Amino acid sequence: MRKDYLLTPGPSAVPADVLLSMAHPIFHHRTSRFQAVLKETLARSRRVLMTENPVAIMASSGTGAMEAAVANLASPGRRALTLEGGKFGERWGELCDAFGFEHEAIKVEWGRAVDPGIVEEKLAADNSIAAVFATQCETSTGVLNDIEALGKIVSKTKAVLVVDAVSSAGACELRTDDWNVDVVCVGSQKGLMLPPGLGMISVSPKARALVEATENRRAYYFDLVKAMKSAAKDDTPYTPAIALVIGLNEALKMIEEEGLEECFARHRLLSKAVRAGLEALGLELFAERPSESVTSVRLPEGLDGAALVKTLRDVEGVAFAGGQAALKGRIMRIATMGYCGKYDVILGLGALEMALAKAGIDIELGAGVRAAEEVFLKG
């Protein structure tokens, strides 16, 4: 009798109300009925991303939103900084390469956060830098970069700050306008509690001006000028993923009903409990500056980490993520994003305790759960 629990950093669990909203019979998108849904969804998106900038919703994964940012900003003579402390930071570099955006990669050891001071120095030294591509939550390492600090630095220059918030939006504090973030790129299958398939992007006036000045823009499907013009009319340039938009509206409604600050606080508490639980089991946390949406932990030496994660997922039905690239088998990642509550943390730690004990690791059964419970009881 199999029962599945999804504690992976995307896709994450989708609430029943969202699933049911998407299960209604499909209707045509060029109708006032759909436009009303889209209008509401776009307004909610702006509120949840804490921005008055227009937000466009696209049928794409989060990477599509990232590509939109790069493709529309890459222009001869412009340079970029890509902040690369993991697989997704490196994706910014790969996208810049693909679109001929000359860039300097600021490489950060996996598990460490980007030092905003270095970004400040680079910007001061090179006046041709037009964009800084950053990652809020580096999903591959569980690091939460300091976007507020980066915003303070970048906003003083002519460069725009572009943030991959794919695995943080709707979970970690992200005050787009207050923090001077010019472009936010989001995917649907993480904190926003949807299946994969939607990308979102918000664009500040400063970024829009830069996009409009781009020479020879290599963008059609991801044309941000077109996307922004459509968004301003509560419309989309191409066929929207109707059911997913309906689901997004429902999911955003749930976030707003919970309250955005309460939602951030919940993720803070959940991730704090996960960290406490892992440390109580004698495990070492991996991220220097831990995200509230995904927690990475070093696995004990000598343990076959990939096998542990595979058994938990395939035999036990409790899905965590393993490490990626060089971290494969060495770390494990536990998501607390979106539709996640205290009891997911409890059962996840319980599953991990049993799996570690079975693998012959000397841990105290129940100690991780106890530590998490103590965090929850303190609130």
Residue 243, interface with a copy of itself (CB under 8 A)? no
Q: Are strands 198-203 and 183-187 parallel, antiparallel or unpaired?
A: antiparallel
Q: What is the distance between the alpha carbons of residues 349 and 283, in angstroms, rounded to a whole number?
A: 12
Residue 334: enclosing H or E segment and its boundaries? strand 331-335
What is the separation of C-alpha 49 from the centre of its chain, rounded to a whole number of angstroms? 12
Reading the block at residue 328, the tokens are: 């494969």
Contact stretch for a copy of itself (CB under 8 A) within 184-192, 195-203, 223-231, 336-344: 336-344
Rounded least distance, CB 173 to a copy of itself, Å: 16
Site mask for a copy of itself (CB under 8 A), range 269-308, x = bound: ----------------------------------------
Site mask for a copy of itself (CB under 8 A), range 12-31, x = bound: ---x-------x--------
Residue 258, interface with a copy of itself (CB under 8 A)? yes
Q: Which of 24, 343, 360, 362 binds a copy of itself (CB under 8 A)?
A: 343
Specify the residue, 26 or 125, whose C-beta has the smaller distance to a copy of itself: 26
Residue 374, interface with a copy of itself (CB under 8 A)? yes
Residue 366, interface with a copy of itself (CB under 8 A)? yes
Rounded least distance, CB 109 to a copy of itself, Å: 34
Per DSSP, 26 falls in state P
Q: Answer whether 79's CB lies under 8 Å from 130's CB.
A: yes
Residue 351, interface with a copy of itself (CB under 8 A)? yes
Residue 369, interface with a copy of itself (CB under 8 A)? yes
Contacts of 221 (CB under 8 A, 6+ apart): 58, 238
Q: Could you write out the DSSP letters of every residue in 241-310?
A: -HHHHHHHHHHHHHHHHH-HHHHHHHHHHHHHHHHHHHHHTTPEE--SSB-SSEEEEEPPTT--HHHHHH
Helical packing angle, 342-358 and 260-280, nearest 10° = 20
Residue 38, interface with a copy of itself (CB under 8 A)? no
329: alpha, beta or left, given left = phi > 0 and alpha = psi -120 to 50? left
Residue 342, interface with a copy of itself (CB under 8 A)? yes
Backbone angles phi and psi of 349, in degrees to 5: -65, -40
Rounded least distance, CB 200 to a copy of itself, Å: 20
**Bond into 25 cis (ω within 30):** no
Residue 109, interface with a copy of itself (CB under 8 A)? no
Rounded least distance, CB 50 to a copy of itself, Å: 18
Rounded least distance, CB 346 to a copy of itself, Å: 4
Residue 316, interface with a copy of itself (CB under 8 A)? yes
Burial class of 170 by CB neighbour count within 10 A (0 to 12, 13 to 18, 19+)? buried
Specify the residue, 174 or 340, whose C-beta has the smaller distance to a copy of itself: 340
Q: Which of 74, 123, 318, 335 binds a copy of itself (CB under 8 A)?
A: 318
Contact stretch for a copy of itself (CB under 8 A) within 140-148, 281-289, 300-308, 347-355: 347-355
Q: What is the distance between the alpha carbons of residues 103 and 271, in angstroms, rounded to a whole number?
A: 34
Contact stretch for a copy of itself (CB under 8 A) within 101-109, 128-136, 151-159, 335-343: 335-343
Backbone angles phi and psi of 360, in degrees to 5: 85, 10
> Which residues contribute to the site for a copy of itself (CB under 8 A)?
1-3, 5, 15, 23, 254, 258, 263, 266, 316-318, 339-344, 346-347, 350-351, 353-354, 357-358, 364-367, 369-371, 373-374, 376-377
